[in-house]
């Protein structure tokens, strides 16, 4: 079959149709403009926030400069402020939370993705995990105060008695403290790690699994040597996202950590985090104190930004090579 030659008339039609009124094309164009506007507005909001943070923080920045980062002072009477205890508390509580949440979360994710259990049991478990993410953080805080800390305190007491000679466990466990807060944070970030890691593992091609089993790998070898490396970028992504949440978590930390404006080597002593400090003091702060709080907020933003950038770098590196 030969196709009929294209006549001039037909080509004209081709050109015409693009200039004629066409509702689909119009919707298409409106959609394009709309999404551009939305994208721009997000960027604008981000700039706006940064700009106003900088503006209000400026008096504190001018007064304390970078010395703010290394000072332990927080004295509204003499108007002397520093952020070191909060930076320390924010980072240390997040790291401890990760130490608990990463092994547990990745383990659960693998368990949920590898049909160790029949689907009938897996689906409700996965659903429960996602419910865990839906609990408001103030509820975690109340639960921490009334249930979790009283529950965990005897265990910490025991650790203190056994390992009190290690500086990290050297004080008698307080009812408001870094370590227990970090454990609650760990529970809060678990669903993030589990859900994203599990999605990553589930989306891995079944051909990989078959390939590994087909070469005589055991299930353990298949998981640890093939599936986890193959899903590593997703797993790292989930950890970084969880870290971001732990760093910024406000309510639970403010309720549980004890808000002590000093660094104590012992994890069982009260401590402070940036967001907890802000939440606690913002109401009655004014003048230089408020400015210093904004300076703290700026620092938190920068820490989170660094974590996110690191995540991007790590994820893209793993996607390239491994």
Partner 1 sequence: MTNPSIETNHTSPIHGDVVIRTENVSIYYGSFQAVRNVFLDIPKNRVVAFIGPSGCGKSTLLRCYNRLNDLIPGARVEGKITYQGVDLYDPKVDPVEVRRRIGMVFQRPNPFPKSIYENIAFGARVNGFKGDLDELVERSLRGAALWDEVKDKLKESGLSLSGGQQQRLCIARAIAIEPEVILMDEPCSALDPISTLRVEDLINELKQQFTIIIVTHNMQQASRVADYTAFFNAEAGETGSRFGYLVEYAPTEQIFNAPQQQATQDYVSGRFG
Taking the complex as a whole, the smallest distance from the CB of residue 232 to partner 1 amounts, in Å, to 9
Give min distance, CB of 322 to partner 1, in A.
6
Cβ proximity to partner 1: between 104 and 122 the closer is 122
Asked whether the beta carbons of 153 and 173 are under 8 A apart, the reply is: yes
Q: Which stretch binds partner 1 (CB under 8 A): 210-218, 254-262, 279-287, 308-316?
A: 210-218
Question: In the bound complex, what is the minimum distance in angstroms from residue 222's beta carbon to partner 1?
Answer: 9
Q: Which is nearer to partner 1, 78 or 115 (CB)?
A: 115
Question: Does the footprint of partner 1 cover residue 70 (CB under 8 A)?
Answer: no
Q: Rank residues 32 and 219 by Cβ distance to partner 1 and give the closer one.
A: 219
Distance from C-alpha of 291 to C-alpha of 297, rounded to nearest angstrom: 10
Contact in structure between 231 and 198 (CB atoms under 8 Å): no
Q: Identify which range of 13-21, 25-33, 100-108, 202-210 contacts partner 1 by CB under 8 A.
A: 202-210
Question: Which listed residue (172, 203, 210, 316) binds partner 1 by CB under 8 A?
Answer: 210
Q: Which residue, 256, 197, 233, 206, is CA-closest to 316? A: 233
* Among 97, 126, 212, 247, contact with partner 1 (rule: CB under 8 A): 212
Instruction: Collect all residues with Cβ–Cβ distance below 8 Å to 64 and sequence separation of at least 6.
Output: 71, 81, 82, 292, 295
Q: Shortest gap between Cβ of 37 and partner 1 (angstroms)?
A: 39
Q: Which stretch binds partner 1 (CB under 8 A): 47-55, 94-102, 166-174, 209-217?
A: 209-217
Site string for partner 1, 220-239 (x = CB under 8 A): -x---xx--xx---------
Count of residues making up the chain? 322
Q: 112: buried, middle or exposed (CB in 10 Å: 19+, 13-18, 0-12)?
A: buried
Considering only the stretches 83-91, 150-158, 217-225, 284-292, report the one whose residues sit in contact with partner 1 under the rule CB under 8 A. Answer: 217-225
Angle 309-90-103 from CA coordinates, rounded to 5°? 70
Determine if 205 is a binding residue for partner 1 (CB under 8 A): yes
Residues 6+ apart with CB under 8 A from 280: 254, 259
Structure tokens at 26: 């119009």
- CB of 208 within 8 A of CB of 227? yes
197 binds partner 1 (CB under 8 A): no
Residue 112 lies near partner 1 (rule: CB under 8 A)? no
For residue 138, give the nearest of 260, 254, 248 by alpha carbon: 254
Cα separation values, 78 from 37, 45, 72, 238, 267, Å:
47, 35, 14, 43, 29
- Phi, psi values for residue 80, rounded to 5°: -115, 125
- Residue 74 vs 318, nearer CB to partner 1: 318
Q: Minimum CB separation from partner 1 for residue 120, in Å?
A: 11
Query: Which listed residue (15, 207, 283, 284) binds partner 1 by CB under 8 A?
Result: 207
Quick check: 111 binds partner 1 (CB under 8 A)? no
# of chain residues touching partner 1 (CB under 8 A): 21
SS (H, E, C) 127-174: HHHHHHHHCCHHHHHHHHHHHHHHHHHHHHHHHHHHHCCCHHHCCCCC
Among 4, 43, 124, 214, binds partner 1 (CB under 8 A): 214
The reply to whether 120 sits near partner 1 by the rule CB under 8 A is: no
- Whole-number Å distance between alpha carbons of 264 and 145: 21
Residues lying near partner 1 in the complex (CB under 8 A) are found at: 115, 205, 207-218, 221, 225-226, 229-230, 321-322
């Amino acid at each position: 079959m030969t196709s009929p030659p294209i006549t001039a008339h037909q080509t004209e039609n081709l050109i015409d149709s693009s200039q004629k009124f066409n509702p689909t094309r119009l919707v298409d164009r409106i959609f394009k403009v709309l999404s551009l506007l939305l994208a721009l507005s997000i960027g604008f909001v981000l700039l706006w926030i940064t700009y106003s943070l900088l503006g209000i923080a400026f008096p504190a920045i001018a007064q304390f400069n970078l010395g703010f980062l290394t000072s332990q002072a927080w004295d509204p009477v003499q108007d002397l402020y520093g952020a070191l205890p909060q930076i320390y508390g924010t980072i240390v509580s997040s790291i401890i939370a990760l130490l608990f949440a990463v092994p547990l979360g990745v383990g659960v994710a693998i368990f949920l993705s590898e049909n160790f259990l029949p689907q009938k049991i897996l689906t409700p478990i996965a659903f429960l995990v996602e419910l865990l993410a839906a609990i408001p953080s103030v509820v975690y805080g109340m639960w921490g105060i009334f249930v979790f800390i009283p529950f965990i305190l005897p265990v910490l007491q025991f650790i203190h008695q056994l390992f009190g000679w290690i500086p990290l466990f050297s004080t008698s466990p307080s009812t408001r403290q870094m370590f227990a807060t970090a454990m609650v944070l760990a529970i809060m970030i678990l669903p993030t790690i589990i859900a994203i890691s599990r999605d990553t593992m589930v989306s891995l091609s079944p051909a990989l699994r078959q390939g590994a089993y087909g070469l005589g790998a055991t299930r353990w070898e298949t998981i640890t040597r093939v599936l986890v490396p193959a899903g590593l970028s997703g797993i790292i992504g989930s950890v970084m996202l969880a870290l971001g949440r732990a760093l910024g978590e406000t309510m639970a930390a403010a309720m549980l950590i004890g808000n002590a404006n000093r660094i104590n080597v012992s994890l069982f002593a009260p401590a402070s985090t940036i967001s907890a400090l802000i939440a606690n003091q913002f109401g009655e702060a004014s003048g230089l104190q408020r400015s210093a709080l904004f300076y703290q907020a700026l620092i938190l933003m920068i820490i989170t930004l660094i974590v996110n950038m690191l995540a991007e770098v790590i994820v893209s590196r793993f996607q390239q090579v491994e």
